[in-house]
A and B are shown apart, each in its own frame.
Chain A
Amino acid sequence: MNIHEYQAKRILSGNGIKIPKGKIAYTADEARRAAKAVTARGPWMLKAQIQSGARGSGRFLEAKAGSRSGIRMVSSLRDLGTEAEAMLGSTLVTRQTGPRGKQVSRLYVEAYTKVGFTFYAGMAIDRVQAAVTLLLANTRDDDINTIAESAPGQILRLPIDLVTGPTHAQTGRAAEFLKLQPRSYDSFYAFLRGLFKTFMANDALMIEINPAGVMKNGDIIALDAKISLDDKALFRHPEHERLKDDDETPPRELKAAKYGFTYHEFGGSIGCIVNGEGLAMAMTDMVRDSGSGVACWLNVKGGVDRDKVAAGIKIIVTNPRVEGIVINILGGFVRCDLIADGIIDAAAEVGMNIPLVVRFEGTNRDEAESILQRAGLPLVMAHNTDDAVNKILQAVREGE
Chain B
Amino acid sequence: MSVLAGKNTKVLVQGMTGTQASFHVRRSLDYGTDIVAGVTPGKGGTTHLGLPVFNTVKEAVAATDATASLIFVPARSVKSAVAEAAGAGLELVVCISDKIPVRDMLEVRNILKNGKTRLIGPNTPGLITPGEARLGIFPENIHTPGQVGVVSRSSTLTYEAVLETRRAGLGQSTVIGLGDDLVIGMNFVDVLSEFMNDDNTKAVVMIGQMGGNFEELCAEWYAASPVKKPVVCFVAGNSQAFSATVGYAGDIITRGRITAEDKKKKLAAAGIIVVEQVNRIHEELQKLRL
Q: What residues of chain A have their CB less than 8 Å away from a CB belonging to chain B?
A: 122, 124-128, 130-133, 135, 144-145, 148-149, 152, 155, 157, 162-163, 200, 203, 205-206, 228, 230, 232-233, 235-236, 262, 264, 266, 274-279, 281-282, 284-286, 288-289, 301-302, 304, 330-333, 361-363, 365, 384-386
B252 contacts chain A at the CB level, 8 A cutoff = yes
Q: Are B156 and A278 in contact (CB under 8 A)?
A: yes
Chain A interface mostly:
mixed
Q: Are A282 and B160 in contact (CB under 8 A)?
A: yes
Q: Which of B101, B139, B239, B254 contacts A288 (CB 8 A)?
A: B239
Q: Are A232 and B238 in contact (CB under 8 A)?
A: no
Chain B residues with CB under 8 Å of A132's CB are: 106
| CB-CB under 8 A for A122 and B253, given A128-B213, A130-B105, A278-B153 | yes
B window 107-130: CB within 8 A of A: 107, 109-110, 125
Q: Are B139 and A279 in contact (CB under 8 A)?
A: no
Q: Are A130 and B155 in contact (CB under 8 A)?
A: no
Chain A residues with CB under 8 Å of B163's CB are: 361, 384
Instruction: Return the 3 tightest CB-CB contacts between A and B, nearest first.
Output: A278-B154, A124-B250, A276-B156
| CB-CB under 8 A for A126 and B101, given A235-B76, A278-B152, A386-B279 | no
* CA A288 to CA B236, docked complex, whole Å: 13
Interface centre among B106, B138, B155, B167 (most CB of A within 10 A): B155
Interface footprint category on B: 35 or more
Chain A residues with CB under 8 Å of B254's CB are: 124-127, 133, 135, 157
Count of inter-chain pairs, beta carbons less than 8 A: 186
B51 contacts chain A at the CB level, 8 A cutoff = no
Chain B residues with CB under 8 Å of A124's CB are: 249-250, 253-254
Per-residue CB contact flags for chain B residues 223-237 toward chain A (1 = under 8 Å, else 0) read 000000000001011
B270 contacts chain A at the CB level, 8 A cutoff = no
Q: Are A125 and B20 in contact (CB under 8 A)?
A: no
Chain B residues with CB under 8 Å of A331's CB are: 139
* Known interface pairs A132-B106, A266-B239; 18 further A-B residue pairs with C-beta atoms within 8 A, sorted by A's residue number: A124-B253, A125-B102, A128-B213, A145-B252, A149-B257, A162-B106, A205-B102, A233-B103, A235-B76, A279-B154, A281-B236, A281-B242, A282-B157, A286-B277, A304-B20, A361-B139, A362-B142, A384-B167
**Chain B residue nearest in CB terms to A278:** B154
**Chain B residue nearest in CB terms to A161:** B110
* CA A111 to CA B261, docked complex, whole Å: 46
Q: Are A332 and B180 in contact (CB under 8 A)?
A: no
CB distance from A323 to the nearest CB of B (A): 19
* CA A61 to CA B184, docked complex, whole Å: 43
Chain B residues with CB under 8 Å of A284's CB are: 239, 242
B45 contacts chain A at the CB level, 8 A cutoff = no
Show 26 A/B contacts (Cβ-Cβ < 8 Å), sorted by A. Answer: A125-B250, A126-B254, A127-B183, A127-B212, A128-B187, A128-B217, A131-B106, A132-B106, A148-B256, A152-B256, A205-B182, A233-B103, A235-B76, A264-B245, A276-B157, A278-B153, A278-B154, A281-B154, A281-B237, A282-B234, A286-B279, A301-B156, A332-B139, A363-B139, A384-B160, A385-B160
| CB-CB under 8 A for A282 and B253, given A127-B183, A361-B159 | no
**Chain A residue nearest in CB terms to B126:** A332
**Chain B residue nearest in CB terms to A144:** B253
B210 contacts chain A at the CB level, 8 A cutoff = yes
Q: Which of B76, B156, B246, B277 contacts A289 (CB 8 A)?
A: B277
* CA A236 to CA B139, docked complex, whole Å: 34
